[in-house]
Chain A
Amino acid sequence: MSDPGRGVSLEEQIDQWRSYLRRRQAIHSVDVAELEDHLREQVAVLVDAGLATDEAFLVAVKRMGDLDALSREFAREHSDRLWKQLVVVPSDSGDPRARARTDAIVAFCLAVAAAVVIKVPALFGIQLDQDAGFYARNLSLFVLPLLTGYFVWKRRLDTSTLRWLAVAFVAAAVFANVYPFAPGGYTEALTALHLPIALWLVVGIAYAGGRWSQVGGRMDFIRFSGELFIYYVLIALGGGVLTAFMAMTFQSIGIDVEPFFESWLLPCGAVGAVVVASWLVEAKQSVIENMAPVLTRLFTPLFAALLVTFLLTLVFTGRGVDIERDMLIVFDLLLVLVLGLLLYSVSARDPGAPPGAFDVMQVVLVVSALLADAVALWAISARISELGFTPNRVAALGMNVILLVNLAWSAVLYVRFLRGGGPFTRLERWQTDYLPVYAVWAAIVVLVFPPVFGFV
């Protein structure tokens, strides 16, 4: 290869140095290119000063500094890149493989515990098919405390935080069960829907493990939530295929597995999968980095096109928005979806990158969603007194306002960023600061709505 008399050529040495640098997760290839340019210039200057090439290379590398210290500095600055190696817990406890195994065992035990816990009420005669209301209200309480426990263990949270988390769960359990809900009523359904949202914040505080007050910590929780969702959907699909084959094979020998599926496999699998999916996210933090940008890039233009077409059709045909019972919920879901697209493109975006065409597309999406929602709100506000304030309508309206405020201010921040009036990090900060608002609103729906509306 190289002439042994002259040693390794400069290019080879730089190649080696570059590949060594690339192994650091905190240092991306653009940074390597920047550092390499620096190294080459330093070498050239030293060679001009009379040093031999290999001496010059050694001096230049030495001046660049210790690579461990350098990658730590890069990691501190680009904490989003650390999502993959997560430095929340210092890696002090010995062998990483032994730690991974302990982690897997704890997660598996907690998943089994969740599966057992959901069957415990059955011992006291509360059956899934007869007391659906009880299970709907308490569903999040069967699994989220165990998930929180997992993060408490993993992040080694201190006891004072732990106490607050426990208080939150106990309070949730009390309010979900002491209110005299009318069976199958609106407020019971609202509690079942909103309690998980409120408690998800509790999980987030445990997940962030002391970093909740930092934008980076909350952003990691957003990434975690998205990734968990993707994993959960994948597990659910796999479970569906498994169940289908189980049903078919047993049917061939004349055994009906449906009762087993309904009362055991589905509930136990559904709650256990939450813990397993969380563990998978922790163990392999790399899906969202690939999935979220792809999904948002794919669907942002499509949804933007849909909304713009909808608005144009509305304007040119002059049709009014039909006030159906579920119309507000449809628009709520639309805003949630747009927010999700925004949130996951924000979380995956390099905050340092300059504005691009995709950012313009994102603004078009958000603004058209705001306009569509404004049309719907205007239509319903004209008839709200005539339709009456049912709990569902008030909850949907409240959610709508919360999402509208978030998206409107996001649009303002995004437009400012596009016009060069502020860094992208403002938008990140706004999104992460807004997280508690959803939880507080959900808590209000759970705590205040049932008594106000008479538990109907």
Chain B
Amino acid sequence: MRSFNTQLEKALPDLWRYACSLTRDRDAADDLVQDCIERALRKRLLWMPGRPLKPWLTKIMLNLYRDRWRSSARFPTTSLDFIDEIAAPNTDPITRLELRDIWRRLETIPAEQSQALLAVVVGGLSYDEAAWSLGIPRGTLMSRIARARSKLKTDPDLSSHSLRSVK
């Protein structure tokens, strides 16, 4: 029990940030994470004590996310408020443009690729943990992440164009 609660507290910040990156909305992330904790508490019997809890929680959360959020299309478009809110205070305009660009692109790549990339980069999972959470082999995970990254690459010429047009 102690171990469950301790691991839950430890895993939560990454889990919540991962939820944020998937839903792009703080409130939606709250809902998702809270549902995830509730389900985890209900299914506590199915968790093997001593095993890492974070991948298990992530798996539960991904199931909830795919069931509900994704299909209901509640958050259909990139919420740019999200970027503005987060990156507002101390980011220079160029970085902000890049941020917007990356997050816009993230939305256009296949969900299976962005979920893999975000699980590692934002969710702080190891390759093995992320692969387990997503129910795919490690090699598949790595190639999905690689494909996501190459699609997110900002073309230096393009970004300087958009910079000029903004000015």
Do A and B pair up? The answer is no
Chain A residues within CB distance 8 Å of chain B: none
Chain B residues within CB distance 8 Å of chain A: none
